[in-house]
């Protein structure tokens, strides 16, 4: 009895140390993002600038105005949006993989990325200001998922298989429309702008725009966090979940709405950033296990850390900033291949449910 008790205490201690490490790494990555870049700013100066501007501490100003602008107006909003996008996409991927009972599902499977990309491309072709481009991107992302959901809905139910198939069809349609827009766009001006926007960047969000980006993502993340334990029941299968009293239709609708808001907002403000919602949930399962009560929080922390690190690399590896969508694919693909090898015994099925997977979804 005492031996079992000591083992439980030891496991709890290890778990606490693991979570403390997750928090410490995330906070460290966030702080490093504030003094890393082409303009050399010391950590002490960053701390003083933050203390003076955020905490209103009586700190003597011994830095140039341009240094303060770089920290408060450029690097701070960039680090915040990178944290939210990384956390949101990772959490959405983990939630979708549990809901679809499929480890190869990403947040883009229902067509939100294709729809949002088309909306942004239309705005850019029409020469609209960036705020209109972002609004169009968000609306078209929501529209694409709405079409998917209502196409898949049969007799007041929404079968998982129908959702996947409808998402594949809707994604293909919006991708075709995007290709048409790019074909008709001015090759000297509009086409390069569309192409660069689609590759993603964290540098386009200002401090004034930040609340409009983090509010829908933050609320949606809180909702998914609160219902995360129900995903454990859902991942047993819809029939089993219903027999245990879980309203699967309400849960599916709630998860789809929240993940769509997160992903559409992410694409609208930062472009298409792939692989995060696919790779990070797998990594988190290796670290904390498949229990969604731990998996969702781990996805938040590790996803934020991952995208902060990738964004820092985008800024420092070359003279010109590398689009973040390129680097997430370059880094994410080999990591995912490694994780597939590590989990090859269990990747083939979840609860004996065949994989329903579209190869094109992984590349987004």
Hey, what domains does the chain have and what are their CATH numbers?
63-362 (1.10.3470.10)
Q: What is the pLDDT of residue 11?
A: 47
Nearest to 11, CA basis, from 288, 301, 293: 288
Q: What is the pLDDT of residue 245?
A: 83
**Cα–chain-centroid distance for residue 115?**
16
| Phi, psi torsion values for 154, nearest 5 degrees | -130, 120
Q: Please give the structure tokens belonging to residue 261.
A: 């808001």
Over the chain (364 residues), the average pLDDT of each successive run of 10 is 46 73 96 88 91 87 89 94 97 94 88 96 93 95 96 82 92 96 91 92 90 96 94 84 86 95 96 93 91 94 97 88 92 86 55 39 44
Spatial contact of 33 and 83, defined as CB atoms under 8 Å apart? no
pTM of the model: 0.89
Q: Please give the structure tokens belonging to residue 155.
A: 């007799």
Distance CA 330, CA 284 (A): 20
Measure Cα distances from 26 to 116, 199, 218, 223 in Å.
Answer: 29, 25, 17, 22
Distance CA 291, CA 286 (A): 11
Distance CA 299, CA 116 (A): 24
Residue matched to tokens 């083992």: 7
Per-residue HEC secondary structure of the chain comes to CHHHHHHHHHHHHHHHHHHHHHHHHHHHHHHHHHHCCCCCCCHHHHHHHHHHHHCCCCCCCCCCHHHHHHHHHHHHHHHHHHHHHHHHHHHHHHHHHHHCCCCCCCCCCCCHHHHHHHHHHHHHHCCCCHHHHHHHHHHHHHHHHHHHHHHHCECCECCHHHHHHHHHHHHHHHHHHHHHHHHHCCCCCHHHHHHHHHCCCCCCCCCCCHHHHHHHHHHHHHHHHHCHHHHHHHCCCHHHHHHCCCCHHHHHHHHHHHHHHHHHHHHHHHCCCCCHHHHHHHHHHHHHCCCHHHHHHHHHHHHHHHHHHHHHHHHHCCCCCCCHHHHHHHHHHHHHHHHHHHCCCCCCCECCECCCCCHHHHCC
Q: Please give the structure tokens belonging to residue 361.
A: 């979804």
Q: What is the pLDDT of residue 3?
A: 46
């Amino acid at each position: 009895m005492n031996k079992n008790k000591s083992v439980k205490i030891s496991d709890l201690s290890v778990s606490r140390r693991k979570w403390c490490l997750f928090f410490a790494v995330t906070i460290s990555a966030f702080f490093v993002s504030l003094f890393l870049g082409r303009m050399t700013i010391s950590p002490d100066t960053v701390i003083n600038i933050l203390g003076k501007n955020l905490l209103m501490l009586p700190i003597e100003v011994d830095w140039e105005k341009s240094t303060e602008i770089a920290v408060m107006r450029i690097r701070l909003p960039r680090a915040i949006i990178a944290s939210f996008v990384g956390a949101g996409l990772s959490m959405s991927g983990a939630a979708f993989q549990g809901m679809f009972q499929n480890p190869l599902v990403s947040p883009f499977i229902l067509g939100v990325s294709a729809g949002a990309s088309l909306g942004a491309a239309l705005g850019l072709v029409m020469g609209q200001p960036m705020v209109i481009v972002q609004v169009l991107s968000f609306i078209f992302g929501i529209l694409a998922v709405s079409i998917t959901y209502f196409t898949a809905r049969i007799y007041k139910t929404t079968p998982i298989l129908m959702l996947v198939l409808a998402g594949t069809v809707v994604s293909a349609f919006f991708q075709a429309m995007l290709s048409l827009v790019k074909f008709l766009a001015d090759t000297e001006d509009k086409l390069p702008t569309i192409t660069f926007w689609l590759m993603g960047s964290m540098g386009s969000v200002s401090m004034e725009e930040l609340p409009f980006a983090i509010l829908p993502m933050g609320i949606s993340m809180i909702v998914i966090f609160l219902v995360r334990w129900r995903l454990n029941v859902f991942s047993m299968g819809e029939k089993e979940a219903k027999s245990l009293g879980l309203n699967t239709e309400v849960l599916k609708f709630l998860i789809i709405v929240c993940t769509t808001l997160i992903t559409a907002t992410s694409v609208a403000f930062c472009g298409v950033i792939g692989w995060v919602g696919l790779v990070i949930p797998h990594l988190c399962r290796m670290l904390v296990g498949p229990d969604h009560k731990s998996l969702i929080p781990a996805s938040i922390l590790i996803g934020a850390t991952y995208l902060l690190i990738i964004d820092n690399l985008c800024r420092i590896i070359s003279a010109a900033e590398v689009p973040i969508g390129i680097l997430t694919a370059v880094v994410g693909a080999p990591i995912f291949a490694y994780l597939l090898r590590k989990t090859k015994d269990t990747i083939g099925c979840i609860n004996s449910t065949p994989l329903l997977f579209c190869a094109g979804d992984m590349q987004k």
